[in-house]
Structure 1
């Protein structure tokens, strides 16, 4: 069952204000009809109107049309009534209608026609008839109400389009980064399979002439391995863009961090590299991801903070690899928005690939920190175990 949410607190407030204004005006005798006294049903109408104001967002068209027709009928029946709260209520309902519905919606056009009926009934049933000045004031207030509603509707549409555009860009960034990661991992897998094929061939050549069964088995393995390498090369060719390298350059690793730090220093970033613990066996894919995370973190520091100081820490722990890149922030006072940019997208994807944890955010004393924990010995891929936030990462 689709349950609609209750009216927002601001709607209750507006309805209460309109009801209080209507009661004050009615009890003050402003709508007193000559020779008829103060009819009680005006107070009932004021209460019903407050209810319509409360529900106006749920059915803006229905509420406005009902109110306009009932009000026009009451104006014709009573005649000569001096009022204010009825008119202000109409302005509120008109604003809600044009702010909730598109300008070219038939209901919007019908709502404007109902408002015109309300205004006409109000102007022609008063005694004495409204003058040009009164007409100008009324039309001006109606125009302001409708114009404000149209402006709110347009701004909402712009905000929705901006949000959808941002989501599209974010999805494209994730897709591009995943393609890049897949391309690098395919290169590594292709290299590993090639080595396996070569070792299988070497083992086949070492067999004795009478080991026919073993020889046939290794031949099958070699052929399957060569076919796998060819398929991997085709896949890599599809993933690699025209502007990419040809794939012959060696994949970066943590052993090349010093070269990366020197490059960043040449770009104006004062970097201090610290390596803690004894390096153990690290899966090639995880090591490549660790290098890319540090590379992207330093690139983000240069991009957002400019020339400043940064510290890179690589900690080899018994069951995990901990990475930390901390900078002192921009020297000109610039701040970096949390989660902004495509660089963090790549970090999250690489950390999630190995079910690691990622913490990013500004530091209390200034600067920005990127902390990643990559578990060693991971034999599966995928997953979304990534944590975002500021402060220390839980390790």
Structure 2
């Protein structure tokens, strides 16, 4: 039985064809298309130069400049063409208008003005070839035409991008080269001079424009950074307030938990339904405390620990003022002995407002005499901090070492947030004599009978903060 030969090994699959390389010809075509697009499409809207200037005379300055240029170059060009180059008056007038009148467009449309002036300059050079009086004078650029064209290039440098400027410069040099080749025997050819001066003017204009763009972007970034800094300060202050209120709320929730747990032992003859209700209240209070602790972990920054000291209140305002006086700020305090019942949130907010107001006086008006007043009419708690202007240099009240030497610049943010938290109002602002005033009005709850406190015989509760 004949044996079959093994199949020949399969050849490897052909490699996929390489994409065609981007050769020099295709790259040149692409660059030419982009250059042509740059020459025919301005890179800026037709807004006047200095349109965003703050004063009206600055916004009108470009229009006055182009009017002056046209008023100067039109008659000067006519006079030079007729007197020195012996061009017919009618042709000289037409060339002067075509070469100088479009300078009116430099303030808002310099690229469109270039499309008019550049062909007019080439046409003028061709006209000068046919006259006998221009053999011994500058060519192909007449003196007024050369200076006016440099003003045009400066306007282009201040408005257009680099690709457009390079294309205009190369077109100017190419036109000069072609005209030189057409008439190589002229001894006063100034096409090379225009080529060099044009490059200098374009570089100067582009440098000024790019510097202005950089300053504008820097100002925008500073504005954004300032807004972000203010927002960050606001969020940090809200976080700080939330951490402080945790202690206040946790105290009340702990009292509720202890009272609910101890109610079956303190109150006789409670029904089973009442006992279950008290147990449910205690469980809800414990769950609320747990959730607050979780929220506090999220709000607390990494690497920081919770404060273990009790939150301050109006009972420590006297100590705060005394510490400020020892630091060199003459301060007076008016605090009545009996303010009535002040809620913990209002008590803490009032203390923080006084603290921040005194810190601001130390930072911004060191040595200024300051008056702190806390009063209550039963419905509202009023906190008033007023400081005089800072003392003059050499005065006996000149400040010593400041309490705080740095700050974020947003000291009033915390005051506003605390007042908003309690539903009050805040009034701040400078005084006519140069001082400053901070007035906060915080609402107080209506007077009510005090709630029973837990029995002192009960075991202490764990620390909640």
Query: Would you say same fold, with TM above 0.5?
Result: yes
Give yes or no for contact 1:25–1:31 (8 Å, CA) kept in 2. no
Whether the 8 Å CA contact 1:312–1:323 is kept in 2: the answer is yes
RMSD: 3.4
Match of 1:27 among 48, 70, 75: 75
Following the alignment from structure 1 to structure 2, what is the Cα–Cα distance between the partners of residues 366 and 375? 30
1:111-165: CA deviation from partner (whole Å, max 9, x where unpaired):
2213414653786669832287776655444333222222211212222222222
Matched with 2:159 is: 96
Corresponding position: 1:39 with 2:87:
no
Name whichever of 175-184 and 284-293 sits farther off: 284-293
Contact 2:330–2:367 at 8 Å: present in 1 too? yes
Which digits, 9 at most, give the CA deviation of each residue in 1:354-379, with x for residues without a partner?
3433343443323333233334459x
Deviation of residue 296 (structure 1)?
0.8
The alpha-carbon deviation at position 351 of structure 1 amounts to: 2.4
1:371-386 to 2 correspondences below 5 Å: 371-377=439-445
Runs of 5+ consecutive residues of structure 1 not aligned to the other structure: 57-62, 98-107, 379-395
Please point out which of 119, 126, 131 is paired with 1:73.
119
Structure 2's unaligned 5+ residue stretches are 1-44, 126-139, 181-185, 399-406, 447-465
Distance in 2 (CA, whole Å) between partners of 1:118 and 1:319 is: 82
Spell out the pairing of 1:121-160 with structure 2 (5 A cutoff): 128-130=188-190, 138-160=198-220
Q: 2:357, 2:385 within 8 Å by CA — same for their partners in 1? A: yes
Classify 1:53/1:279 alpha carbon distance in 2 versus 1 (closer, same or farther; 3 Å): farther
Deviations along 1:74-126, whole A, 9 cap, x unmatched?
Answer: 221221443233431331231133xxxxxxxxxx2222213414653786669
1:87 alignment counterpart: 150
Task: Give 3-state SS (helix, strand or coil) of 1:315's partner.
Answer: strand
- How many residues were matched structurally? 353
| Residue of structure 1 equivalent to 2:35 | none
Change (3 A) 1:209 1:322: closer
CA contact (8 A) 2:46 2:108 kept: no
Q: Computing the radius of gyration over CA atoms, which structure comes out larger, 1 or 2?
A: 2
Distance 1:361 1:209, change over 3 A: closer
Mapped to 2, the partners of 1:70 and 1:240 lie a distance apart of 68
Aligned partners of 2:282, 2:421: CA distance in 1, in Å?
30
Q: 1:225 aligns with which of 272, 282, 285?
A: 285
Give the Å deviation of 1:277. Answer: 10
The alignment's TM-score, normalised by the length of structure 2, stands at: 0.66
In the TM superposition, residue 220 of structure 1 has moved relative to its aligned partner by 1.0
Distance 2:314 2:46 in 1: 54
TM-score where L is the length of structure 1: 0.76
Q: In the aligned structure 1, how far is the partner of 2:327 from the partner of 2:99? A: 74
